[in-house]
Amino acid sequence: MIDRQMLPIRRPSITTLVFAMLIAPTCMTFADAPRNANVVNRITGQVVDHNGNPVADARVGAANRKLGYITYSGNGRLYVYGQNKRILLFFKAQNGSSSVEGVTDENGRFVLSNIMDGPVNVAAAHPQHGVAFANNIDPLKDGTEVKLTLSAPTFASGRVQGIPDQHYSPLMGDAASQYKFARFTPVVPQKPADIMYNISTTIGPDGRFRIGPLPPDVDEWTLAFDRRARNYTATILSIPVTVSKLVEHPIDIDLSKGRKLAGVIRGPKDELLPDVSISTIRSDGIRVGGVSDATGRYEIVGLDDGAYTLEAKRWARRTAPG
């Protein structure tokens, strides 16, 4: 028989207590977490079209406004980005993922789970039915049920012809030729924490394109056509587009008409400079440009009679001193 009163009592040291406090939470599960610790959130909701009908197979995404973001790229494409944030529950900061995505079922219902605490942006997109965006939604304060109503689908279509197909370097091959994409970006820059729009579409062999569905809250856009240079992408055609006026002024431009401006770009030592972006703005607001080839030659097509100001830019690599 052991006399417990005779056993010495050893008190844990401060070092032992701190070590136990740091290690113990790593073995805890969410079921074991204290009631006041932050938990991973879940957002549920429904996506309907502008007539109130449920939309199946719509892409849905949510992103924390500080640690994640959403980009809408047209044709029902949503891209969500962000890091996972998991730390010890003992410090109970933020847990879960900064961005999540999913697809609606046949009833338009969706579930977005494992989203961390804090305000989020929520977006839904369908290639035929339209898009919907909700910025700055807090699941804990505003509730976890979100209804997204897709806007009536609006598309911009048109035709562009006469963009020169040049090659700048034998090493680049087809990468230096005409970039076969049309790109829409808002004229007014978006806030960093909002859903970003970078809408693009392919251009057909005859120059025709159709881009959208476009967001309902932006009317002024820039339609751009790019060409790859060796170290960067240069804009060779930029057109201002007002969506509400598309019916009256469809996008249709032929750069093979009008005048052509050509020349050679040289550096301060009279050397030939390749990969220099050079552009000018027409009277109708259309920016037309080109990129110098391996011999420094460039050409700008589709110009009306008149005086122009040329703008030349070149991307240069720099190394940090030291």
User: 60 with 95, same domain?
Assistant: yes
What residues make up the domain containing 120?
Answer: 37-149
pTM over 0.85: no
Report the pLDDT value the prediction gives residue 318, as an integer from 0 to 100: 53
User: 66 with 203, same domain?
Assistant: no
In this structure, is residue 216 part of a structural domain?
A: yes
pLDDT tens string for the chain (322 positions)? 444 444 444 555 544 444 444 434 433 333 333 343 444 678 899 999 999 999 999 999 999 998 899 999 999 999 999 877 655 554 444 567 889 999 999 999 999 988 888 899 999 999 999 999 998 888 767 667 899 999 999 999 999 888 766 544 444 454 444 457 788 999 998 888 899 999 998 888 888 899 999 998 899 999 988 777 777 777 888 999 999 988 887 888 888 888 889 999 998 999 999 888 898 988 788 899 888 888 899 888 888 888 888 888 887 655 555 4
Report which secondary-structure segment, H or E, holds 283: none
Number of neighbouring beta carbons within 10 Å of residue 232: 14
Report the pLDDT value the prediction gives residue 94, as an integer from 0 to 100: 54
In this structure, is residue 320 part of a structural domain?
A: no
User: 62 with 88, same domain?
Assistant: yes
In this structure, is residue 31 part of a structural domain?
A: no
**CATH number of the CATH domain containing 91:** 2.60.40.1120
Report the pLDDT value the prediction gives residue 248, as an integer from 0 to 100: 81
User: 219 with 286, same domain?
Assistant: yes
- The candidate with the shortest Cα–Cα distance to 178, out of 237, 231, 223, 257, is 237
- Longest CA–CA span in the chain (Å) reads 112
Report the pLDDT value the prediction gives residue 104, as an integer from 0 to 100: 98
Contact predicate 34/114, CB 8 Å: no
CA angle 181, 187, 188 (to 5 degrees): 140
User: 128 with 231, same domain?
Assistant: no
User: 177 with 269, same domain?
Assistant: yes
Number of domains in the chain: 2
Last residue in a domain, options 116, 132, 149: 149
In this structure, is residue 62 part of a structural domain?
A: yes
User: 257 with 133, same domain?
Assistant: no
Report the pLDDT value the prediction gives residue 87, as an integer from 0 to 100: 58
- Burial group, residue 288, by CB count within 10 angstroms (0-12, 13-18, 19+): buried
User: 165 with 128, same domain?
Assistant: no
User: 160 with 143, same domain?
Assistant: no
* CA–CA distance, 132 with 150 (Å, rounded to integer): 5
User: 179 with 269, same domain?
Assistant: yes
In this structure, is residue 235 part of a structural domain?
A: yes
User: 204 with 251, same domain?
Assistant: yes
